[in-house]
Amino acid sequence: MAILNDNPLDNPITAKISIIGAGNVGSMAALNLLVQGMGHITLVDVLQGLAQGKACDLEDACGVLGIENRVQGTGDINKIGSSDVIVITAGVARKPGMSREDLLNINSRIIFELSSKIKELAPGAIVIVVTNPLDVMTYLALKTTAFNTRRVFGMGLTLDAARFRGQISKELHLHNKEVEATVIGSHGEGMMPLPRLTVTRGAPLDRMADANKVAELVKRTKERGAEIVNHLGSGSAYFAPALAISELVKAIVTDSKALMGVSAYVSGMYGINEVCIGVPCIIGKRGIEKMVEFELNEAEKTALQQSAESLRKMYKLLPVF
């Protein structure tokens, strides 16, 4: 692949993107990336024939759209070798009534094994973790690979901010582009939407809606993932997560320096140390180019620190440590 200075991703057409997990999220992300021409896609899944079948279908989709076919499906993890970007969606999905913490025991073993293979086969890759509980799985992947902290992060807040934006635009009858939603903290019900720092038509959300309405919007955003799981009965959201993945990968391979919320390794910000938690970051060719620190009030800062401490307690439950 073409290299300019220390950047392996100057030509996005030649970037190698591996997606581990060919379920709904992984395969939909692959489709989005193919349509956008973001690089060569390798879809990997341990379930016999799943990735191969999805790849065949994606090949046909390329034919429908008249775009270049750059996808392969495999059950062989060794095919991720020399990847530039690796997305991990593999793992057990949430079921109705199941919390993200309930997933920890099963998914932590999957992430540990995959991260060990990534360390061996693709030591130069940027890794995006999607598997839940996301912040804990991101920490596990980071510690297992021992990669630079800027090259391993979780997708979470990209999706959470989109959900907050959607709830606001629907309630206030605004176009999505008129809302700049700000969310920090852990992914899922522990997220922290920040109305004070969320802008709607140039004004903070807490000035555009009364306190009760704002509280309701925050509540609906936090419960959105569980709502989708309960409606589906089996499985969880995949359209929006797949698009969120695509936006992160696009920011990397095009070096767009986009401001996006991700689960990043925080050490020093907000009085938090050695925890992977959602914060806004500049995403570019090296992964996390810079973490952006907001001026939180005392209540917001305390809540974030409590969220970080909850995650730290979950680290101690990881069966591989």
Sheet holding 179-180, edge to edge: 179-180, 199-200, 203-204
CA gap 174, 298 in Å, rounded: 31
Distance CA 173, CA 201 (A): 11
Residue 28 φ/ψ, nearest 5 degrees: -70, -40
| Residue in the structure block whose two tokens are 């062989």 | 76
95: Cα within 13 Å, side-chain hemisphere:
4
Catalytic annotation, pick one of 40, 173, 187, 231 = 187
Looking up tokens 């309930």 gives 102
* DSSP conformation class of 233: S
Q: Where are the alpha helices (DSSP H) in 6-49?
A: 24-36
Query: Is 40 a catalytic site residue?
Result: no
User: Do residues 193 and 183 make contact, with C-beta atoms less than 8 angstroms apart?
Assistant: yes
Q: Cα–Cα distance between 88 and 290 in angstroms, integer?
A: 22
Contacts of 6 (CB under 8 A, 6+ apart): none
Catalytic residue IDs: 187
